[in-house]
Amino acid sequence: MALAALALATAAGCGSGQSSSGPVTLNWYIFPEFSGAFVKSAAACSQGSNGAYEIKIQTLPNAADGQRQQMVRRLAADDSSLDILGLDVTWTPEFAEAGWITPWPDDVAKRVENDTLRSMVDTATWKGRLYSAPFNTNTQLLWYRKDLVPNPPTTWKQMISMAEDLAKQGKPHYIEIQGAQYEGYTVWFNTLVSSAGGQIVSDDGQRVTLDQSAVQALDTIHELANSTAADPSIGNQMEDQTRLQFEAGRAAFELNYPYVYPSAKADVPDIFKNMAWTVYPTVKEGVPTHVTIGGIDLAVGAFSKHKQQAFDAIQCLRSPQNEIQNAVLGGLPPVLESVYSDPKFQKAYPMWKAIFTTLKQASVRPKTPAYQSVSLQISYTLSPPSSVSAKKLGTLRSRIEDAINSKGLVP
């Protein structure tokens, strides 16, 4: 009885209910997108395929960890119902190494790489092969208050001293940054190391390459966290807490994604009036800043029964029209360079120039199948930010070393 019920449940869970004729169903596992942009493009692509395929959206959990866990559990069981996978930019090496996603055929790969932002192609490539197609991207800008800061800073040093001056005058002065023990803190650290000219892990993901540039990154965190410029709760701040502090009028600076702009417009018109943006400050004078890139890449599941159709569908989903639609409706910055000169996009994104400049020289987080462990070790070792100093470099190096070799426990 129990066995029968179990078998039934398994069958119901995995069956995709394919009929032999008519369009094949392509399951698209993607994060929940609330504007409906994905639903629209999925429908349009299905329509345009002339009966070749029908894209069915399978909504993943909100949080990135939950999305990854759900897909990994299915893939570890060779689930053939995963046709198109929406992967965070840091997951391609892991899924590729584990044999869960299919590399793109060379001719199609060339088409995908053409016109796509270089850093995004980098996130989608593992061991020289393209395993996924960049779908949308994102990056951080420096947001500041025009009324408090007439000339925005270009370096971290300037920004910290400006904030300290404002503090002395008793004005809102915090620099809002993500310092909680989570992925966002790793993003900050990666930006600082890259902007100081370094790299956390070698390109092949085999060696830790933290050097003098990491010392500069650690010094910057130390300097901020131990100054009056830091929010006292820096150790608990994630993207949304930093946004709220800025909207509450307690901050002069905020490093965050562009979503904070429409949010301030809706929530606090008074602050919004004085809200301005510029590119992320540099660590070293004269060396351009390399902000960590974020976003989603689309891959074809290794156990999918409709790979050809899935490759076709992905190319349709990331067409220029759909990329613009995702940007205008859903606020997701496109990965195609040509779209940035489209007036429709520029209108929806007043800060497009700063974003484009940032994206052109963006940095990529460590590329290793063990990225999750590497990131956990970084945010764990550097928490709380006030405890950070150059002395942590040794511990950090050995913990990342263990992580990329999947040795020891993860925090």
Which chain residues interact with another protein by CB under 8 A? 2-3, 65, 69, 72-73, 76, 94, 97-99, 181, 232-233, 235-236, 369-370, 372-373, 376, 406-411
Q: Based on CB atoms, which residue is closest to another protein, 73 or 110?
A: 73
Q: Give the shortest CB-196-to-another protein separation in angstroms.
A: 28
Q: Give the shortest CB-19-to-another protein separation in angstroms.
A: 33
Q: Based on CB atoms, which residue is closest to another protein, 251 or 376?
A: 376
Burial class from Cβ neighbours inside 10 Å (0-12, 13-18, 19+) for residue 202 reads middle
DSSP 162-199: HHHHHHHTTS--EEE---SSSHHHHHHHHHHHHHTT--
Q: Give the shortest CB-61-to-another protein separation in angstroms.
A: 13
Alpha-helix residue ranges (DSSP H) falling in 172-267: 183-195, 212-225, 239-247, 260-267
Q: Are 252 and 174 in contact (CB under 8 A)?
A: yes
- Degrees (nearest 5) of the Cα angle 47, 71, 309? 30
Instruction: Tell me the two tokens of residue 386.
Output: 């006030």
Q: Based on CB atoms, which residue is closest to another protein, 266 or 409?
A: 409
Q: Give the shortest CB-410-to-another protein separation in angstroms.
A: 4
Q: Give the shortest CB-259-to-another protein separation in angstroms.
A: 19
DSSP 116-157: B-HHHHHHHEETTEE-SEEEEEE--EEEEETTT-SS--SBHH
Q: Give the shortest CB-263-to-another protein separation in angstroms.
A: 16
Cα radius of gyration (the chain):
22
Q: Are 30 and 38 in contact (CB under 8 A)?
A: yes
Q: Give the shortest CB-99-to-another protein separation in angstroms.
A: 6
Q: How many CB atoms lie within 10 A of CB 92?
A: 24
Q: Are 176 and 224 in contact (CB under 8 A)?
A: no
Q: Based on CB atoms, which residue is closest to another protein, 150 or 232?
A: 232
Q: Based on CB atoms, which residue is closest to another protein, 94 or 312?
A: 94
- Degrees (nearest 5) of the Cα angle 349, 155, 184? 60
Instruction: Tell me the two tokens of residue 11.
Output: 């069958």
Q: Based on CB atoms, which residue is closest to another protein, 142 or 201?
A: 201
Q: Based on CB atoms, which residue is closest to another protein, 3 or 11?
A: 3
Burial state string for 33-49 with b = 16 or more CB within 10 A and e = fewer than 16: beeebbeebbebbbeeb
Q: Give the shortest CB-347-to-another protein separation in angstroms.
A: 35
**CA neighbours closer than 13 Å in the CB half-sphere of residue 223:** 17
Q: Based on CB atoms, which residue is closest to another protein, 359 or 376?
A: 376
Q: Are 364 and 92 in contact (CB under 8 A)?
A: no
Q: Give the shortest CB-30-to-another protein separation in angstroms.
A: 21
Q: Based on CB atoms, which residue is closest to another protein, 94 or 323?
A: 94
Alpha-helix residue ranges (DSSP H) falling in 319-408: 320-330, 343-348, 352-360, 371-381, 393-404
Q: Are 293 and 120 in contact (CB under 8 A)?
A: yes
Q: Are 85 and 313 in contact (CB under 8 A)?
A: no
Q: Give the shortest CB-250-to-another protein separation in angstroms.
A: 11
Q: Based on CB atoms, which residue is closest to another protein, 48 or 408?
A: 408
Residues 374, 352: Cα–Cα separation, whole Å:
32
Q: Based on CB atoms, which residue is closest to another protein, 53 or 182?
A: 182
